[in-house]
Amino acid sequence: MILFHSPISQHSRRVVSLLEEVGISYESNVVDMMNGEYLTAPFLAVNPNHQVPTLIDGDVKIHESNAILRYLCHKYDLSQWYPDDLAARACVEQWLDWTQCRFSPSVVDIVLNKVFLQEKGDAKAIKRGLEQLIELTEILEQHLKDRDYLAGSAPTIADLALASNVFHLGLAQAQPNTQNISNWFDRISKLKGFQASLPKM
Protein backbone atom coordinates (compact mmCIF):
# COMPACT_ATOMS: atom_id res chain seq x y z
CA MET A 1 0.00 0.00 0.00
CA ILE A 2 1.08 3.54 -0.73
CA LEU A 3 -0.07 6.47 1.41
CA PHE A 4 0.21 9.99 0.04
CA HIS A 5 0.11 12.23 3.10
CA SER A 6 1.55 15.17 4.97
CA PRO A 7 2.38 15.53 8.67
CA ILE A 8 0.81 19.01 8.66
CA SER A 9 -2.54 17.56 7.59
CA GLN A 10 -4.79 16.44 10.42
CA HIS A 11 -6.63 14.15 8.01
CA SER A 12 -3.36 12.47 7.08
CA ARG A 13 -2.29 12.06 10.68
CA ARG A 14 -5.36 10.04 11.69
CA VAL A 15 -4.58 7.48 8.96
CA VAL A 16 -0.89 7.32 9.87
CA SER A 17 -1.92 6.88 13.52
CA LEU A 18 -3.91 3.75 12.72
CA LEU A 19 -1.32 2.27 10.36
CA GLU A 20 1.48 2.79 12.86
CA GLU A 21 -0.51 1.73 15.91
CA VAL A 22 -1.52 -1.65 14.50
CA GLY A 23 1.70 -2.21 12.55
CA ILE A 24 0.41 -2.26 8.97
CA SER A 25 3.19 -2.03 6.41
CA TYR A 26 2.88 0.82 3.91
CA GLU A 27 4.97 3.00 1.63
CA SER A 28 5.04 6.60 2.84
CA ASN A 29 4.87 9.27 0.15
CA VAL A 30 5.02 12.68 1.82
CA VAL A 31 3.43 15.50 -0.18
CA ASP A 32 5.07 18.92 0.22
CA MET A 33 1.97 20.94 1.01
CA MET A 34 3.81 24.13 1.96
CA ASN A 35 5.42 24.37 -1.50
CA GLY A 36 2.27 23.53 -3.45
CA GLU A 37 3.02 19.97 -4.51
CA TYR A 38 -0.67 19.16 -4.00
CA LEU A 39 -1.46 21.41 -7.01
CA THR A 40 1.03 19.85 -9.42
CA ALA A 41 -0.03 17.69 -12.35
CA PRO A 42 1.58 14.50 -10.98
CA PHE A 43 -0.29 14.78 -7.69
CA LEU A 44 -3.57 15.80 -9.31
CA ALA A 45 -3.32 12.55 -11.26
CA VAL A 46 -3.31 10.79 -7.88
CA ASN A 47 -6.00 12.94 -6.27
CA PRO A 48 -7.93 15.46 -8.39
CA ASN A 49 -9.31 16.98 -5.17
CA HIS A 50 -5.76 18.32 -4.49
CA GLN A 51 -5.91 17.08 -0.92
CA VAL A 52 -4.22 14.51 1.30
CA PRO A 53 -4.36 11.71 2.24
CA THR A 54 -4.81 9.24 -0.58
CA LEU A 55 -4.33 5.50 -0.12
CA ILE A 56 -3.49 3.25 -3.05
CA ASP A 57 -3.83 -0.47 -2.45
CA GLY A 58 -3.42 -2.30 -5.73
CA ASP A 59 -6.39 -1.28 -7.88
CA VAL A 60 -8.09 0.46 -4.95
CA LYS A 61 -7.65 4.21 -4.58
CA ILE A 62 -9.29 6.08 -1.69
CA HIS A 63 -9.08 9.80 -1.00
CA GLU A 64 -11.14 10.59 2.10
CA SER A 65 -9.43 9.98 5.44
CA ASN A 66 -12.40 8.45 7.27
CA ALA A 67 -13.13 6.20 4.31
CA ILE A 68 -9.49 5.08 4.43
CA LEU A 69 -9.82 4.31 8.14
CA ARG A 70 -12.92 2.19 7.51
CA TYR A 71 -11.25 0.42 4.59
CA LEU A 72 -8.24 -0.52 6.68
CA CYS A 73 -10.44 -1.77 9.51
CA HIS A 74 -12.44 -3.96 7.12
CA LYS A 75 -9.38 -5.28 5.30
CA TYR A 76 -7.44 -6.16 8.45
CA ASP A 77 -10.41 -7.08 10.64
CA LEU A 78 -9.62 -4.36 13.16
CA SER A 79 -12.81 -4.79 15.16
CA GLN A 80 -11.20 -3.25 18.22
CA TRP A 81 -10.93 0.01 16.25
CA TYR A 82 -14.22 -0.32 14.33
CA PRO A 83 -16.57 -2.47 16.45
CA ASP A 84 -18.79 -5.19 15.02
CA ASP A 85 -21.47 -4.53 17.61
CA LEU A 86 -24.16 -2.40 15.95
CA ALA A 87 -24.66 0.08 18.80
CA ALA A 88 -20.93 0.55 19.33
CA ARG A 89 -20.33 1.01 15.61
CA ALA A 90 -23.16 3.54 15.41
CA CYS A 91 -21.45 5.54 18.15
CA VAL A 92 -18.17 5.45 16.23
CA GLU A 93 -19.94 6.56 13.04
CA GLN A 94 -21.69 9.36 14.90
CA TRP A 95 -18.43 10.78 16.21
CA LEU A 96 -16.66 10.38 12.88
CA ASP A 97 -19.43 12.44 11.29
CA TRP A 98 -19.49 14.96 14.15
CA THR A 99 -15.76 15.44 13.80
CA GLN A 100 -15.95 15.94 10.05
CA CYS A 101 -19.17 17.96 9.81
CA ARG A 102 -19.17 20.03 13.01
CA PHE A 103 -15.70 20.12 14.58
CA SER A 104 -13.46 20.19 11.52
CA PRO A 105 -14.89 23.38 9.94
CA SER A 106 -14.04 25.32 13.10
CA VAL A 107 -10.55 23.84 13.14
CA VAL A 108 -10.00 24.89 9.54
CA ASP A 109 -11.29 28.41 10.23
CA ILE A 110 -8.93 28.83 13.15
CA VAL A 111 -5.76 27.00 12.13
CA LEU A 112 -5.69 27.72 8.40
CA ASN A 113 -6.21 31.43 8.87
CA LYS A 114 -4.21 31.97 12.05
CA VAL A 115 -1.25 29.62 11.47
CA PHE A 116 -0.81 28.89 7.79
CA LEU A 117 -2.12 32.07 6.13
CA GLN A 118 -1.00 34.35 8.99
CA GLU A 119 -1.22 37.98 7.83
CA LYS A 120 -3.30 36.90 4.83
CA GLY A 121 -5.74 35.05 7.06
CA ASP A 122 -9.41 35.91 7.43
CA ALA A 123 -9.97 37.45 10.88
CA LYS A 124 -13.72 36.91 10.60
CA ALA A 125 -13.18 33.19 9.97
CA ILE A 126 -10.93 32.93 13.03
CA LYS A 127 -13.55 34.68 15.16
CA ARG A 128 -16.29 32.42 13.80
CA GLY A 129 -14.25 29.30 14.48
CA LEU A 130 -13.42 30.33 18.04
CA GLU A 131 -17.06 31.13 18.78
CA GLN A 132 -18.24 27.78 17.43
CA LEU A 133 -15.55 26.03 19.40
CA ILE A 134 -17.14 27.16 22.67
CA GLU A 135 -20.30 25.15 21.99
CA LEU A 136 -18.44 22.19 20.51
CA THR A 137 -16.09 21.99 23.49
CA GLU A 138 -19.02 21.81 25.88
CA ILE A 139 -20.69 19.04 23.84
CA LEU A 140 -17.50 16.98 23.82
CA GLU A 141 -16.70 17.69 27.46
CA GLN A 142 -20.11 16.41 28.55
CA HIS A 143 -19.90 13.32 26.35
CA LEU A 144 -16.57 12.35 27.91
CA LYS A 145 -17.82 12.84 31.44
CA ASP A 146 -18.31 9.15 32.21
CA ARG A 147 -16.18 7.45 29.59
CA ASP A 148 -12.51 7.16 28.69
CA TYR A 149 -13.02 7.23 24.92
CA LEU A 150 -15.69 8.43 22.50
CA ALA A 151 -17.35 5.04 22.05
CA GLY A 152 -16.61 3.39 25.38
CA SER A 153 -13.66 1.89 27.22
CA ALA A 154 -11.25 1.50 24.28
CA PRO A 155 -10.03 3.84 21.54
CA THR A 156 -11.54 3.59 18.05
CA ILE A 157 -10.97 5.29 14.72
CA ALA A 158 -13.35 8.02 15.91
CA ASP A 159 -10.87 8.92 18.65
CA LEU A 160 -8.00 9.04 16.16
CA ALA A 161 -10.00 11.29 13.83
CA LEU A 162 -11.02 13.72 16.53
CA ALA A 163 -7.62 13.75 18.26
CA SER A 164 -5.93 14.70 15.00
CA ASN A 165 -8.10 17.83 14.96
CA VAL A 166 -7.58 18.62 18.63
CA PHE A 167 -3.81 18.45 18.11
CA HIS A 168 -4.23 20.76 15.12
CA LEU A 169 -5.92 23.36 17.31
CA GLY A 170 -2.81 23.31 19.48
CA LEU A 171 -0.87 24.81 16.57
CA ALA A 172 -3.03 27.91 17.04
CA GLN A 173 -2.98 27.79 20.84
CA ALA A 174 -6.71 27.04 20.71
CA GLN A 175 -6.79 23.47 22.03
CA PRO A 176 -9.62 22.83 24.51
CA ASN A 177 -8.27 22.49 28.05
CA THR A 178 -11.32 21.31 29.98
CA GLN A 179 -10.76 18.37 32.32
CA ASN A 180 -12.48 15.52 30.47
CA ILE A 181 -11.17 16.51 27.06
CA SER A 182 -7.65 16.99 28.41
CA ASN A 183 -7.71 13.57 30.09
CA TRP A 184 -9.04 11.92 26.93
CA PHE A 185 -6.49 13.66 24.71
CA ASP A 186 -3.69 12.66 27.06
CA ARG A 187 -4.74 9.00 26.71
CA ILE A 188 -4.76 9.22 22.91
CA SER A 189 -1.47 11.13 22.86
CA LYS A 190 0.27 8.21 24.55
CA LEU A 191 -0.52 5.83 21.68
CA LYS A 192 2.63 5.06 19.74
CA GLY A 193 0.73 5.40 16.47
CA PHE A 194 -0.48 8.87 17.36
CA GLN A 195 3.01 9.91 18.37
CA ALA A 196 4.43 8.58 15.10
CA SER A 197 1.98 10.72 13.11
CA LEU A 198 3.00 14.06 14.55
CA PRO A 199 4.94 16.67 12.58
CA LYS A 200 8.49 17.45 13.63
CA MET A 201 8.06 20.90 15.14
Whether 81 is covered by a domain: the verdict is no
Q: Give the count of domains, the chain.
A: 2
What is the CATH number for 60? 3.40.30.10
Whether 99 is covered by a domain: the verdict is yes
Residue 91 shares a structural domain with residue 183: yes
**In what helix (H) or strand (E) does residue 16 lie, and over which residues does it extend?**
helix 10-22
Query: What residues contact 120, with CB distance under 8 A and at least 6 apart?
Result: none
Phi first, then psi: give them for residue 79, nearest 5 degrees: -65, -20
Domain limits for position 7: 2-75
Residue 132 shares a structural domain with residue 66: no
Query: What residues contact 45, with CB distance under 8 A and at least 6 apart?
Result: none
pLDDT in tens, the chain (201 residues): 999 999 999 999 999 999 999 999 999 999 999 999 999 999 999 999 999 999 999 999 999 999 999 999 999 999 999 999 999 999 999 999 999 999 999 999 999 999 999 999 999 999 999 999 999 999 999 999 999 999 989 999 999 999 999 999 999 999 999 999 999 999 999 999 999 999 986
Residue 180 shares a structural domain with residue 92: yes
DSSP state of 31: -
Residue 90 shares a structural domain with residue 48: no
